[in-house]
Amino acid sequence: MRCPFCAHDDSQVKDSRPTEDNTSIRRRRQCSSCGARFTTFERVQLREVTIVKSGDRREAFDRSKLEQSVSLACRKRDVSQERIDQLVSGIQRQVETAGESEFASSRLGEMVMDGLRELDSVAYIRFASVYRDFSEARDFEEFASSVQEVAEGDSDSSGVGNG
């Protein structure tokens, strides 16, 4: 595995263990050139799926982007990393088992909203408010940059819920 810091082609595995929900293997690595430490995850990928975004743009389904959006929506909320992993893994499984090689970005966004609704009402509202504003022109992945602003202004979450 190439080092993300110095791009050296070799790194050593220092530790290797399954994650809590046992759906992936976490490996701690150390670059044999610069000594930087980083972590990689090994997960099952059932099939390659292309996400079709607005304007007919296409890109490979990327679990880490999905996880980033969910994590941001749940920021500073009482939602464990394990619950986030479960939600993301559930969506990934649905995408990969849908039996289609292409999957609409909007459908993915709806699945995230469905999942967040059950997980945490504030996280759901954060995601939904930004996502719905995107309309046709933008994609839920751009949510990642927008939610930070929303979250900053969200000092008191009481009274929000029962959407």
Alpha-carbon separation of residue 42 from 23, 27, 100, 163 (angstroms): 9, 8, 23, 37
Residue 5 lies near Zn ion (rule: CB under 5 A): yes
Residue 60 three-state SS: strand
C-beta closer to Zn ion: residue 34 or 46 = 34
Helices 121-133 and 105-119, packing angle to 10 deg: 160
Residue 110 lies near Zn ion (rule: CB under 5 A): no
Stretch that binds Zn ion, among 4-12, 67-75, 93-101, 139-147 (CB under 5 A): 4-12
Residue 8 lies near Zn ion (rule: CB under 5 A): yes
CA–CA gap between residue 92 and residue 108 (Å, rounded):
9
Structure tokens at 37: 């430490």
Looking at residues 29 to 68 of the shown chain, list those that interact with Zn ion (rule: CB under 5 A): 31, 33-34, 36
Stretch that binds Zn ion, among 5-13, 59-67, 72-80, 120-128 (CB under 5 A): 5-13
Q: Which residues bind Zn ion (CB under 5 A)?
A: 3, 5-6, 8, 31, 33-34, 36
